[in-house]
């Protein structure tokens, strides 16, 4: 900001009116990229309350253009809902956002009822038959309606639970062996499964690939650090299942496994261990999908080559971290194919808030950043200042481009001369 003020003072003069200074300030620092537009239009329901999603989607769209017609906002909100919810809503019944919220409250209520309906399984300590009211009189419940302990739960040593055997919670019997389908079409996200029992078939696809897939990608998975993995994860192959993860104890640095899609999709089987069903186990796995050019395969050395000028500009405008610094050391991570690059920061150029809780690779000390790069790239420390551009992948910062400072300054000058930058560039 101080550099801009000094430059503007020389160009505009101290006697220039406020409108001239305001126009110069806005043109220099305003975010004129397509990032907020892309985020608002592609924002989709993931989890939680449907009503909360509607409110947030409407706010994002109105932030872009407060004069956008309500019907267009309504259409975009509905298209962001799960397909099963869209199919339950007729266009004539949701002619306004107010009516849509009224309809979605019912789905929120039904979802909450299903979630908490299992609380009735708590042991009934009052062994006397319950009474119910009929025509204003209290009567004893008929013997045929008296509750009896569930034999399935007693046999499985899960305590005394009073519900019909036909409505058992599914911790044993046929339901335990069932496989439930899960369809995920985001480029990154998390699969969280509370009290895992049975199995899930998780189908990963990139959005826009169509019903039969289409867009090829490379999928990388990583269990949540610090949590016990209470399931086995398999990759579905042409003729067999290939194990990616076995049940494991908590690890602060769980391994990342990457696979390439086939036919535009990756199918995973997540099978619960079935051990200690009363313990609150949690399967928490992050995933990241990177598109691959049509007709090509993933080349691990592609990430090692120097970035072109256009790639540098794109990386600067879309990376979560851009900083100037000096590489102090490169530390290979044991039992993995990646290395940590420890960078002494001289100037932070931009840093976006993370959608994850924190950078799970802790900073060595204040004024330093740690980013990852493939070990096969042979990164080395040395003298000279560089510009680190990194994106957050599976909760960790991964290197995208690392030009020398002088090279990046030359790129900025050329981009300004051609007016080709997607955002305000700085060094």
Query: What's the CA gap between 219 and 233, in Å, rounded?
Result: 14
Q: Is residue 425 part of a domain?
A: no
Query: What's the CA gap between 109 and 81, in Å, rounded?
Result: 16
Per-residue confidence (pLDDT) for residue 365, from 0 to 100 = 53
Q: Is residue 116 part of a domain?
A: no
Residues 256 and 334 in one domain: no
Q: Using the 3D structure, point to which of 82, 109, 136 is the last residue of a domain.
A: 109
Q: Is residue 179 part of a domain?
A: yes
Q: Using the 3D structure, point to which of 75, 90, 109 is the last residue of a domain.
A: 109
In order, the DSSP letters of 324-384 are EEEEEEEEEPTTSSEEEEEEEEEEEEEEPPPSSSS-SS--SSTTEEEEEEEGGG-----SS
CATH number at residue 338: 2.40.50.120
What's the pLDDT band for 36 if we cut at 50, 70, 90? Answer: confident
313 conformational bin, left if phi > 0, alpha if psi -120 to 50, beta if neither: alpha
Residues 375 and 358 in one domain: yes
In Å, what is the CA distance from 385 to each residue of 3, 320, 413? Answer: 21, 20, 18
Residues 247 and 332 in one domain: no
Residues 348 and 287 in one domain: no
Angle at 70 between CA 67 and CA 71, to 5 degrees: 130
Query: What's the CA gap between 6 and 246, in Å, rounded?
Result: 60
Beta bridge partners of 137: 134
Residues 407 and 366 in one domain: yes
Q: Is residue 132 part of a domain?
A: no
User: What is the tens place of the pLDDT at every residue in 221-253?
Assistant: 999 888 888 888 999 887 788 888 888 888 888
Q: Is residue 219 part of a domain?
A: yes
CATH number at residue 266: 2.60.120.290
Beta bridge partners of 271: 199, 232
Q: Is residue 330 part of a domain?
A: yes
User: What is the tens place of the pLDDT at every residue in 325-362?
Assistant: 888 888 887 777 788 888 889 988 888 765 544 444 44
Residues 414 and 304 in one domain: yes
Residues 268 and 285 in one domain: yes
CB 283 within 8 A of CB 247: no
In order, the DSSP letters of 22-85 are HHHHHHHHS--SSHHHHHHHH----SS-HHHHHHHHHHHHHHH-TTS-HHHHHHHHHHTS-HHH
Q: Using the 3D structure, point to which of 91, 109, 127 is the last residue of a domain.
A: 109
Domain that holds residue 99: 31-109
Per-residue confidence (pLDDT) for residue 131, from 0 to 100 = 34
Residues 280 and 232 in one domain: yes
Query: What's the CA gap between 374 and 332, in Å, rounded?
Result: 9
Q: Is residue 283 part of a domain?
A: yes
* 257-258-261-267 Cα dihedral, nearest 10 degrees: 10
User: What is the tens place of the pLDDT at every residue in 129-178?
Assistant: 333 333 333 344 444 445 667 665 565 555 566 655 544 433 333 344 47
Query: What's the CA gap between 410 and 53, in Å, rounded?
Result: 44
Residues 385 and 321 in one domain: yes
324 conformational bin, left if phi > 0, alpha if psi -120 to 50, beta if neither: beta
Per-residue confidence (pLDDT) for residue 379, from 0 to 100 = 81
Query: What's the CA gap between 116 and 394, in Å, rounded?
Result: 31
Q: Is residue 144 part of a domain?
A: no
Residues 307 and 411 in one domain: yes
**Domain total of the chain:** 3
Residues 206 and 282 in one domain: yes
Residues 40 and 71 in one domain: yes
């Amino acid at each position: 900001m101080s550099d801009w003020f000094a430059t503007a003072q020389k160009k505009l003069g101290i006697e220039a009116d406020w409108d001239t200074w305001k126009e110069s300030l806005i043109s220099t620092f305003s975010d004129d990229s397509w990032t907020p537009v892309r985020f608002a239009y592609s924002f989709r329901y993931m989890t939680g309350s449907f009503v909360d999603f509607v409110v947030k989607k409407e706010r994002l769209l109105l932030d872009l253009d407060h004069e956008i017609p309500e019907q267009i906002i309504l259409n975009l909100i509905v298209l962001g809902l799960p397909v099963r919810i869209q199919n339950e809503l007729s266009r004539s019944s949701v002619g306004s956002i107010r009516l849509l919220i009224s309809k979605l409250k019912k789905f929120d209520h039904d979802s909450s009822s299903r979630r908490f309906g299992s609380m009735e399984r708590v042991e009934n300590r009052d062994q006397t038959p319950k009474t119910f009211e009929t025509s204003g009189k209290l009567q004893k419940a008929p013997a045929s309606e008296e509750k009896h302990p569930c034999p399935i739960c007693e046999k499985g040593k899960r305590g005394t639970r009073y519900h019909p055997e036909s409505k058992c919670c599914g911790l044993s019997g046929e339901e335990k062996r069932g496989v439930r389908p899960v369809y995920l079409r985001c480029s990154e996200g998390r699969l969280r499964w509370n009290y895992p029992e049975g199995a899930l078939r998780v189908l990963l696809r990139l959005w826009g690939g169509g019903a039969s897939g289409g867009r090829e990608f490379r999928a990388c998975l990583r269990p949540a650090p610090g949590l016990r993995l209470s399931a086995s994860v398999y990759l579905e192959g042409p003729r067999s299942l290939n194990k990616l993860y076995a049940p494991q104890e908590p690890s602060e640095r769980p391994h990342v496994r990457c696979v390439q899609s086939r036919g535009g999709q990756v199918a995973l089987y997540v099978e619960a261990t079935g051990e200690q069903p009363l313990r609150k186990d949690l399967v928490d796995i992050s995933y990241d999908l990177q598109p691959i050019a049509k007709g090509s395969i993933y080349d691990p050395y592609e990430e090692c080559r120097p970035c072109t000028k256009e790639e540098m500009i794109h990386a600067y405008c879309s990376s979560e971290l851009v900083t100037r610094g000096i590489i102090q050391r490169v530390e290979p991570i044991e039992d993995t194919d990646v290395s940590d690059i420890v960078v002494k920061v001289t100037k932070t150029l931009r840093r976006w808030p993370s959608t994850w809780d924190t950078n799970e690779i802790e900073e060595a000390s204040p004024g330093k950043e740690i980013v990852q790069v493939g070990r096969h790239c042979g990164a080395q420390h040395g003298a000279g200042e560089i510009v680190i551009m990194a994106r957050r992948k599976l909760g960790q910062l991964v290197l995208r481009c690392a030009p020398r400072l002088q090279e990046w300054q030359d790129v900025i000058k050329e981009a300004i001369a051609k007016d080709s930058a997607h955002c305000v560039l700085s060094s």
